[in-house]
Amino acid sequence: MGSMWLYWLTLLVVGFLAAGSKIAAKNPDAGKALNVLVPFQGIIGIWALVYGIIRFIDNLSMLDWLDFIPVMVITYLASNIIMIILGFLLGYALIMKFVGGASEEAKAKFAATQAKLAGAQATLGYLAILLAIWHIVQYYAEIAA
């Protein structure tokens, strides 16, 4: 159960960070609360990237269940992919520091990938929040049943 809460919390935090500018524009008080997390955005992003990859690989074993519980399998795999993408976007600046010795071609590919994905960051953030809420509701609905 603890790992599920870590998963849901990670998904929520990266979702709020990714959609932070849109949320702050609609609700300044929420923007102030999100500003507390902004200094840690790079570290949270790298965590989400690594954790998302691990969970994606782990959840590939769920493909056997696709015939029985397709909604759960698809939502978990989608959540993992969104977590990986948002982790990359949020941790981009820190990742670039780590690959400082990489070739200019590799840096250009990183920059091009980041530029392509950045336009969808807020949308993916909202999706991450919705999926986290969905997973929590789904989990507790199964327990109650």
Closest-CA residue to 18 (of 134, 139, 127, 103): 127
% residues pLDDT > 90 (the chain): 46
Query: 34 pLDDT band (50/70/90 cuts)?
Result: confident
- The DSSP annotation for 89-132 comes to HHTHHHHHHHTTTS-HHHHHHHHHHHHHHHTTHHHHHHHHHHHH
* pLDDT tens-digit series, residues 77-116: 999 999 999 999 999 888 888 776 667 787 788 788 888 8
For the range 136-145, what are the long-range contacts, defined as Cβ-Cβ under 8 Å and sequence gap of 24 or more? 136/8, 138/72, 138/75, 139/4
% residues pLDDT > 70 (the chain): 97
Query: 3: which 2 tokens?
Result: 């790992």
What's the mean pLDDT when you consider all of the chain?
87
DSSP-derived 3-state class of residue 67? coil
Report how far residue 4's alpha carbon sits from residue 8's, in angstroms, rounded to the nearest whole number: 6
Q: What is the pTM of this model?
A: 0.86
Is residue 31 scored above 80 in pLDDT? no
Domain ranges in the chain?
2-144
Buried b (16+ CB within 10 A) or exposed e, 81-107: ebbbbbbbbbbbeebeeeeeeeeeeee
